[in-house]
Amino acid sequence: MMGVKNGGTRKRVAPAWGRFTWPVLLTTVLLCVAAIVAAGMFPGLFPVPKPAPSIPAWQKVPDRLAGANSVLPLDAQAPVPVPAQVAKLLDATLKPDGAGSISGVVLDASTGQTLFDREANANRIPASNMKLLTAVAALKALGPETRFSTRVLSSADPSTVVLTGGGDVLLGSGASEPTAILGRAGLASLAADTAAALAAAGVAGPVTVQVDDSLFTGAPLNPGWSLEDVAAGETTPLFSLALNSGRYSPGVVTGPRPQDSAVTTAQAFAEQLAAAGVTVSPGVERGKGLPAKVLATAESATVSEQVDLMLESSDNFLAEALGRMTALASGQPGTYDAATSAVRQRLGELGIATDSMLLADVSGLALENQVSAQQFAEVVRAITSGPDPALRTALDGFPVAGLTGTLDNRYVDSGTSEGAGLVRAKTGTLNTVIALSGYVVDADGRLLVFSFIGNGLDPGAAGNKVAMDRSASVLAACGCKG
């Protein structure tokens, strides 16, 4: 019983519903019934909010980055987009901002079916999309788990040590960092091991430091490169060992670079050797050690890790080093010409036609490179869903739209943001060239690979990158099953 105090006694209070009369209750019930009947007869009068459509997991922007050693499992029964629908979308977005033209192709990754073709077989200057070719060639020739050794050898004179390059251009100046890619092998650790070996051999010093960079031969600077690009720090002469991918500091990625990375590295090693307590003679010279007398060794990051770094950061110097190592693994000399020849050879082994290709380097700086969008799409398809599992290790290197690498500051406006976190693609940029090749899972769960290449473009026209980003974004949002 409900009540309130009143002068020490309780006064009975009727429940609130009891204050309604039966006519009022009857009228209320009849009105409710009428509303239900009316809603059934005339649903438009009382619209019922529809539940928000569920978003497939692959279409959600990730809250964290995960490894991408596979883009499977996907639904094998997911519908293949209708080519006419894809063409309708891309014809509206894939337009140059001013002069020039953009070729492109979209393939269904599973079947290889062409879903969009705009001059797909036309040769184009690809810029840094060239690194995709280098990536698959390196992985195929060298193997994803291979490491490069930087060694310190003794010479005929026991007081002379020879820092010998083995293809690792990602050396660090400090201690070796086992979990790093850049700096996995460190000069401080190499020097400490060398100092211990010298002490064990009874070498008191002073010690002369030499450097052996003979693994790579031929011209250290590719004649196909613009000297302006070299001066701007896009790359530098190539040697078989280098600190920080041929830079003075790992944190400074623009501006002047060492012109002789082998000597620069040897000088840094001599400083670390002195810091380890060894008396070191001034100056560094070139020489050769005795292969049987190894004083110390430092191992690089794996080839797959180096490939990922090359793709994500679009590192020209690292790309050329991997190209030379690919040539050596293919039984050819460590020269620029041999690198392009080896890349062509390995692509042919994957069944990718190379007769029409013109390759002047393996990093993409040379304007003489000529490759088609079709060939790039086939390379991406080989990585994502081809029969060679070694190539799958390159997936982590593809920049993620709006999140990582050379795509970290793109896909941020309203026209492209729906591709953020979904599009994974290698970029390419030169003065009049923009390229984008990669893969995406569409709204129906179908894996698509694509390549867009613009040539003859107006330098600096912002709309060209937007056009490519928007085109990749509409593929991500595509439910183009007809």
CA distance 317 to 240: 11
Query: 399-434 burial, b if ≥16 CB within 10 A, otherwise e?
Result: bbbbbbbbbeebbeeeebbbbbbbbbbbbbbbebbb
In the chain, the N- to C-terminal Cα span, in Å, equals 67
Q: How many CA atoms lie within 13 A of 64 on its CB side?
A: 2
Question: In whole angstroms, what is the distance from residue 288 CA to residue 246 CA?
Answer: 22
Rounded Cα–Cα distance for residues 164 and 291 (Å): 10
DSSP letter string, 259-276: S-HHHHHHHHHHHHHHHT
Active-site annotation holds for 314:
yes
**Of the candidates 173, 196, 341, 203, the residue with the CA atom closest to the CA atom of residue 269:** 173
State the angle between helix axes of 373-385 and 130-142 in degrees (0 to 180), rounded to the nearest 10.
40
H/E run at residue 111: none
Residue with tokens 């031969």: 217
- DSSP H helices in 256-394: 261-275, 303-313, 316-329, 336-349, 373-385
CB neighbour list of residue 43: distance below 8 Å, 6 or more residues apart: none
Torsion angle in degrees (nearest 10) through CA of 351, 356, 361, 365: -120
CA distance linking residue 173 with residue 183, whole number of Å: 7
Residue with tokens 């709006």: 402
Instruction: List the beta bridge partners of residue 11.
Output: 4
| 88 is annotated as an active-site residue | no
Is 469 in contact with 411 (CB distance < 8 Å)? yes
Annotated active-site residue 155? The verdict is: no
As given in the structure block, the two tokens for residue 213 are 């960079």
Of 240, 300, 314, 341, catalytic: 314
The helix or strand, by DSSP H or E, that contains position 91, with its residue range, turns out to be helix 83-93
Residues making up the chain, counted from first to last:
482
What 3-state DSSP class applies to 102?
strand
Q: Report the interhelical angle of 261-275 vs 187-200 (nearest 10°).
A: 60
Q: Which residue numbers are catalytic? A: 128, 131, 314
